[in-house]
Amino acid sequence: IPKLRFAVERKSLKYDFIRRVGLESLKQ
Q: What is the pLDDT of residues 1-28, one digit of tens each?
A: 688 888 889 999 999 999 999 999 988 7
Q: Which SS3 state, helix, strand or coil, does residue 16 take? A: helix
What whole-number distance in Å separates Cα of residue 28 and Cα of residue 1? 42
pLDDT of the residue at 15 = 95
Longest C-alpha distance within the chain, in Å?
42
Euclidean distance between CA atoms 28 and 17, whole angstroms: 17
Q: Which domain holds residue 18?
A: 1-27
At residue 14, the pLDDT reads: 94
Q: How many domains does the chain have?
A: 1
Ordered alpha helix ranges (H), the chain: 2-27
